[in-house]
Amino acid sequence: MSKKTSLKKTKESKIDSKYSMDTHLIYGKNVSNKWDYSHHVTAPISSSTTFRLDSVERGAEGFLQFAQTETQGDKQPIFIYDRLGEPNKDMLEENLAYIEKGEMAVTYTSGMAAISAVLGVLTKSGDEIITHTTLYGCTISLFNNWYPRYNIGVHPIDLTNLKNINSVLNENTKVIYFETPANPNMDIINIIELRKLVDKINEKRSVDNKIKIVVDNTFATSFSQRPIELGSDFTIHSLTKGMGGFGTDMGGVVIGKNKYRDALLLYRKDFGAVLNTKSAWAILTYGLPSLALRQRQQIKSSIKIAEFLENHPKVEFVKYPGLKSHPQYKIAKKQMLDFYGNFAPGSLIYFVLKGNSPEKTKENGKKLMNYVADNAYTMTLAVSLGHTRTLIEHPASMTHSVVPADKLAERGFEAGGVRLAIGLEKAEDIIMDLEESLKQI
């Protein structure tokens, strides 16, 4: 991709390649016209906030080109200023769009910035959003603490039963937003069926008024699931997690149709949540090329660890999409697939400890966390996920502490629930540490 040959115009979303996705994760889609370094094998970190313009005419042309996807096409971009675009981010965006089967991608400074941007572009005052009950804690906080002042209504319902949509659907509904698998309880939403349902509702709506499906694909990563292929309009990721993979950089991305690229770029330019070039570079250079290797290893370990936990006498239940006991196992088998069609149930496990009351379970959960924090070599008490190291956390008191204790059940998870994000250690070592830690409660 470092060669500057002319790019044949191809239909963006459907490129038939003779190469495998493992290879494309390293090289990207094709020869990139964003590549500004003709003799480098690895792109240098583009650490320049501003760009030299050959003439005032070129500067003017650059401004005219910005956020003009339709007329710009595959033309070589004129770089002006980092907040508008620069080579590292632009190359990362090309690759992300390609692996996730979207037409375009726009990156942001974090996953939350990506969520705010896509919803900011799709809604205005008076509109309504339907969400699943279980969501990442800060997404709940965004909806509860900020959206009321924009007069945007948010309806959390149980989307594992799609019939529930009818109870909150109305002409102001503009977006259906959810995570699958959901953080932290691993609920799975049927994207294919939801697409059919939304298509029916949309039949009666004008082009500009159609409901959009937005999926947060952070838990699965592009390796294990591509929601756009299944029927979502947009996919977002926190690149901070499994996509970045090493826990060194924050980032977020919105992937979808070309039609929305300009609005997403303008939103980023004006609200300012620009992905740092150094982070874009790290995700492009380390994250994506190692994604397939990391995910395959983590999934293999996760299956072993989920089975171990499911058979452990101190564990009440385990929710992992790779276990037959998962309530939506059949849906998971249809939509969580790697690039080659193999079942890819991801690297996140949710489990609940036994205890004869919620208080007791919660106490056991805390005891386990504290023992792990002090003693376990292969598990670290920390939020985040998709790291090289296995991370364990207690959602009720950490990532989801925004949910009050009496609302946990309503939000679909347990006071004593534990979230385990499997890293790259040997599965047997993690199991050894889990076994030892579970003895303490």
Q: How far is the CB of 174 from ligand PLP (least distance, A)?
A: 20
Binding to ligand PLP in span 318-377, by CB under 6 A: none
Q: How far is the CB of 40 from ligand PLP (least distance, A)?
A: 28
Alpha-carbon gap, residue 132 to 140, rounded angstroms: 10
With respect to ligand PLP, which residue has the nearer C-beta, 24 or 241? 241
With respect to ligand PLP, which residue has the nearer C-beta, 214 or 250? 250
Q: How far is the CB of 110 from ligand PLP (least distance, A)?
A: 3
Binding to ligand PLP in span 238-257, by CB under 6 A: 238, 240-241, 250, 252
Out of 78, 112, 188, 284, which residue is the one contacting ligand PLP (CB under 6 A)?
Answer: 112
Query: Residue 350, SS3?
Result: strand
Q: Does position 216 bind ligand PLP by CB under 6 A?
A: yes
With respect to ligand PLP, which residue has the nearer C-beta, 72 or 141? 141
Sheet containing 252-256: which strands, arranged edge to edge? 104-108, 252-256, 234-238, 212-216, 173-179, 128-132, 153-157
Q: How far is the CB of 217 from ligand PLP (least distance, A)?
A: 9
Q: Does position 136 bind ligand PLP by CB under 6 A?
A: yes
Q: What are phi and psi of 235, to 5 degrees?
A: -120, 135
Q: Does position 232 bind ligand PLP by CB under 6 A?
A: no
Asked, as a colleague might, if the bond just before 148 is cis with ω within 30 of 0, I would say no
By the 8 A CB rule, do 355 and 361 touch?
yes
**Positive or negative: CA dihedral 99, 105, 107, 112:** negative
- CB burial of 17-47 (b: ≥16 within 10 Å; e: otherwise) equals eeeebbebbeebbbebbbbbeeeeeebebbe
Query: Residue 280, SS3?
Result: helix
With respect to ligand PLP, which residue has the nearer C-beta, 198 or 253? 253
Alpha-carbon gap, residue 245 to 388, rounded angstroms: 7
By the 8 A CB rule, do 345 and 401 touch?
no
Instruction: Give me 83's structure tokens.
Output: 């907040």
Tell me which stretch binds ligand PLP (CB under 6 A): 69-77, 104-112, 280-288, 338-346.
104-112
Instruction: Residue 220: name the closest of 193, 249, 183 by CA.
Output: 183
Q: How far is the CB of 69 from ligand PLP (least distance, A)?
A: 25
Euclidean distance between the first and final Cα of the chain, in Å?
54
| Residues touching ligand PLP, count (CB under 6 A) | 15
Tell me which stretch binds ligand PLP (CB under 6 A): 156-164, 211-219, 290-298, 301-309.
211-219
Tell me which stretch binds ligand PLP (CB under 6 A): 58-66, 148-156, 170-178, 216-224.
216-224
With respect to ligand PLP, which residue has the nearer C-beta, 110 or 335? 110
Residue 52 CA: distances (Å) to CA of 49, 66, 79, 178: 10, 16, 8, 42
Q: How far is the CB of 390 from ligand PLP (least distance, A)?
A: 16
With respect to ligand PLP, which residue has the nearer C-beta, 85 or 386? 386
With respect to ligand PLP, which residue has the nearer C-beta, 25 or 243? 243
Q: Of how many residues is the chain composed?
A: 441
The owner of tokens 């705010």 is 116
Instruction: Give me 418's structure tokens.
Output: 């534990």
Give me the 172-191 binding string for ligand PLP, x by CB under 6 A, dash otherwise: -------x---x--------
Which single residue brings its beta carbon nearest to ligand PLP? 111
Tell me which stretch binds ligand PLP (CB under 6 A): 108-116, 157-165, 334-342, 408-416.
108-116
With respect to ligand PLP, which residue has the nearer C-beta, 78 or 408? 408
With respect to ligand PLP, which residue has the nearer C-beta, 46 or 183? 183
Instruction: Residue 220: name the closest of 164, 179, 185, 174 by CA.
Output: 179
With respect to ligand PLP, which residue has the nearer C-beta, 30 or 180? 180
Written as one string, the DSSP assignment of 41-55 is: SSPPP---SB---SS
Out of 110, 160, 180, 298, which residue is the one contacting ligand PLP (CB under 6 A)?
Answer: 110
Asked, as a colleague might, if the bond just before 227 is cis with ω within 30 of 0, I would say no
By the 8 A CB rule, do 82 and 274 touch?
yes
Which residues contribute to the site for ligand PLP (CB under 6 A)? 110-112, 136, 138, 179, 183, 216, 218-219, 238, 240-241, 250, 252
